[in-house]
Amino acid sequence: MIKSVEELKRLKEEYSKALAREKMKILVCAGTGCVSGGSLKVYEAIKKLLEEKNIYVDIDLYTHGKEGVNVSPSGCHGFCEMGPIVRIEPQGYFYVRVKEEDAREIVEKTVERGEVVERLLYKSPETGEVFMTEESIPFYGKQSRIVLEHCGKINPENIKEYIAVGGYQALVRALQMTSEEICQVILKAKLRGRGGAGFPAGVKWDSVRKQKADVKYVICNGDEGDPGAFMDRSIMEGDPHRVIEGMIIAGYASGATEGYIYVRAEYPLAVRRLKIAIEQAREFGLLGRNILGSGFDFDIKINKGAGAFVCGEGSALIASIEGNRGMPRTRPPRTVEKGLFGKPTVLNNVETFANVPMIILKGADWYLSIGTENSPGTKAFALTGNIVNTGLIEVPMGTTLREIIYEIGGGIPNGKELKAVQIGGPSGGCLTKEHLDLPLDFDSLDSVGAMIGSGGMVVIDQDACMVEVARFFMDFTQRESCGKCVPCREGTRRMLELLEKITRGEGTEADIELLEELAITVKDGSLCGLGETAPNPVLTTLKYFRDEYLAHVRDKRCPAGVCQALKRYVIDPALCRGCSKCARVCPAGAISGEVKKPFIINADKCIKCGACVDACPFKAVKEGK
């Protein structure tokens, strides 16, 4: 139990010294991605070998005074495509796709002889160039890892490591300031909410600070429900103490004494790591009564979501913590006035809280020097879809799409062309090639009809049908609509029906007009952010890919050849040997012909099931567009 600021400072010195006894540190990624690839087995194997050789040390054993080698599970490196990942400190060697069997070679070569295991290094798929260190890989070259600085570098399950690298020093600084001063720093730093809307966090904190109430709350929104987004998961798994520290500071600044972290049920590992972190922080006296002897009390509880996308919306999330159906309510009153249990509440998302400690430590001016004028700082994005380097990245606000896709992401695989980037998930919109040089920040994205959202970035190549993409997102939001307000409940449903009609080839031009009209009504008339943003994918695809919609309704053709009902199957007479296999599997009896002569498909009878394609041993059945 740490009772004073001085004691924490002393411990930091002690732990830093203990860390310094680790002459080499082997960090095995233990994020969800690498764990599923078997990284924990790699960790166990290396640990066992080090123990056998009697060279294993860790921060908890520092009193033994010996020097040695440490192996530790770490948070996510973001390069999930290449997992399981092992990083060697201090050299920075970066081993990819490591298997249990590789443990011995790593220990014998790298640990004992200081040599690099070349075959485990990352090799560029295009040029074949081999990269020794994490920092030299192009995927990391353009990134600025500020929020994610500890992810992959420390053991998220040990508070001592966090303290050793300077953790909770921002809290020390904050406790020496007044609550008003902290709000002023956050306001001056123009920290904007990373959950989507980009509302200034300082304004929220200061409003709650000014409210008079017997109890106030801080809520951390970890209900990262956007399909294709996992930034918050990685932060909670990889550096949970940073989020907790940010929340304690928010509590002190706003006068709140109780905190809640609301995490999706789909993130069991994040829940586990947060629980461990909260318990450790309590043991160390960083949560609970009279934190560091300051007289300030603050504690945190975890609430596990139960599977409702709408709970990412503030007032719905609050209803869910209160034990109700997660439905949003009309505002005002705003959350800062009447939030959880009707009390003033600060509600920010995970990444926002994770930004706080360094702003307090390094100051607002430092923060303002990163990013763009009105969107300072960095943003984490989850880069997925048709891209060479899938993973989690962090770049300064204002980085262009071109830099992200081609320099960090390594471009589109298989030599295909970029068609669109869906940003912000089902609430966001799509960007096209013409936006490649647009500096990405809250305002620039808003101006083109998209939004950062929580930061999901799905890259779509030439083979995708944009009408189908819009239908996919509308299917999602329609299912997730909570049903409270009519525009969202009925509107998203009707919009989905229209999109389905168009992808079935039964749509008309009037349907497109109706779709557009409905989209605007749903956007304007819905109660909460879910409905207000649900039409964005439709509106942006209509804006940038209207010709694809028209091809579906006018020519009954899907230009990308994706929409099943619009596919046309033909048999290539040059390849067909007349074996009759296709005719035998066709459930509609649409294929006929004479044995040993080319067969033909009757397009009127064909139900486009594709069974003939699978059946043909000569690949003679082709999909036409």
Dihedral of CA 137/138/139/142: which sign? Answer: positive
Return phi, psi of residue 568, to 5°: -125, 125
Cα–Cα dist 77/389, whole Å: 13
The token pair at 437 is 């040089």
Please select the residue that binds other proteins; options are 5, 8, 29, 32, rule is CB under 8 A: 32
Q: In angstroms, what is the minimal distance from the CB of 270 to other proteins? A: 9
Residues 367-386 that bind other proteins (CB under 8 A): 382, 384-386
Please select the residue that binds other proteins; options are 164, 350, 464, 582, rule is CB under 8 A: 464
**Segment interacting with other proteins (CB under 8 A) among 219-227, 238-246, 495-503, 538-546:** 219-227
**Segment interacting with other proteins (CB under 8 A) among 80-88, 359-367, 434-442, 582-590:** 80-88
119 binds other proteins (CB under 8 A): no
**Segment interacting with other proteins (CB under 8 A) among 99-107, 259-267, 277-285, 488-496:** 259-267
Cα–Cα dist 275/278, whole Å: 5
324 binds other proteins (CB under 8 A): yes
Q: Which is nearer to other proteins, 167 or 424 (CB)?
A: 424
Q: Tell me, what DSSP letter sits at residue 61?
A: G
223 binds other proteins (CB under 8 A): no
Q: Is the peptide bond before 200 cis (omega within 30 degrees of 0)?
A: no
Is residue 437 within 8 Å of residue 484, measured between CB atoms? Answer: no
80 binds other proteins (CB under 8 A): yes
The burial of 155, by beta-carbon neighbours within 10 Å (0-12 exposed, 13-18 middle, 19 or more buried), is given as: buried
Is residue 5 within 8 Å of residue 63, measured between CB atoms? Answer: no
222 binds other proteins (CB under 8 A): no
240 binds other proteins (CB under 8 A): no
Return phi, psi of residue 125, to 5°: -65, -25
246 binds other proteins (CB under 8 A): no
322 binds other proteins (CB under 8 A): yes
Q: Which is nearer to other proteins, 189 or 380 (CB)?
A: 380
Q: In angstroms, what is the minimal distance from the CB of 241 to other proteins? A: 20
- Among 77, 81, 99, 78, residue whose Cα is nearest residue 89: 77
**Segment interacting with other proteins (CB under 8 A) among 40-48, 149-157, 456-464, 544-552:** 456-464
582 binds other proteins (CB under 8 A): no
Q: Which is nearer to other proteins, 271 or 586 (CB)?
A: 271
Q: Which is nearer to other proteins, 94 or 230 (CB)?
A: 230
Q: At what angle do helices 546-554 and 486-503 cross, to 10 degrees?
A: 60
Please select the residue that binds other proteins; options are 20, 306, 486, 607, rule is CB under 8 A: 306
Strand 456-461 relative to strand 418-423, pairing? antiparallel
- Binding footprint of other proteins, residue count (CB under 8 A): 54
The token pair at 211 is 């409210």
Residues 476-505 that bind other proteins (CB under 8 A): 476, 480, 482
Please select the residue that binds other proteins; options are 205, 230, 284, 296, rule is CB under 8 A: 230
Q: Which is nearer to other proteins, 186 or 271 (CB)?
A: 271
Q: In angstroms, what is the minimal distance from the CB of 86 to other proteins? A: 17
Q: In angstroms, what is the minimal distance from the CB of 80 to other proteins? A: 3
Please select the residue that binds other proteins; options are 161, 223, 226, 351, rule is CB under 8 A: 226
Residues 528-567 that bind other proteins (CB under 8 A): none
Q: In angstroms, what is the minimal distance from the CB of 286 to other proteins? A: 25
Partners of residue 481 on adjacent β-strands: none
Cα–Cα dist 618/430, whole Å: 39
35 binds other proteins (CB under 8 A): yes
Q: Which is nearer to other proteins, 68 or 238 (CB)?
A: 238
Cα–Cα dist 480/519, whole Å: 17
Is residue 24 within 8 Å of residue 89, measured between CB atoms? Answer: yes
Cα–Cα dist 233/308, whole Å: 17
Q: In angstroms, what is the minimal distance from the CB of 307 to other proteins? A: 3
Please select the residue that binds other proteins; options are 9, 304, 433, 501, rule is CB under 8 A: 304
Cα–Cα dist 412/463, whole Å: 12
Compute CA distances 527 → 135, 307, 424, whole Å: 46, 20, 20
Compute CA distances 340 → 20, 197, 256, 321, 328, whole Å: 44, 20, 12, 8, 12
Sheet (strand 299-304) strand order = 299-304, 258-263, 217-222, 345-349
Please select the residue that binds other proteins; options are 68, 193, 228, 453, rule is CB under 8 A: 228
In the chain, count H helices and then E strands. 26, 19
36 binds other proteins (CB under 8 A): yes
**Which positions from 413 to 452 touch other proteins by CB under 8 A, shown as an x/- string?**
---------x--x---------------------------
Please select the residue that binds other proteins; options are 74, 169, 320, 372, rule is CB under 8 A: 320
Strand 591-592 relative to strand 429-432, pairing? unpaired
- Binding positions for other proteins, rule: CB under 8 A: 32-33, 35-37, 79-81, 83, 224-230, 233, 264-268, 303-309, 320-326, 382, 384-386, 390-392, 422, 425, 456, 458, 460, 464, 472-473, 476, 480, 482
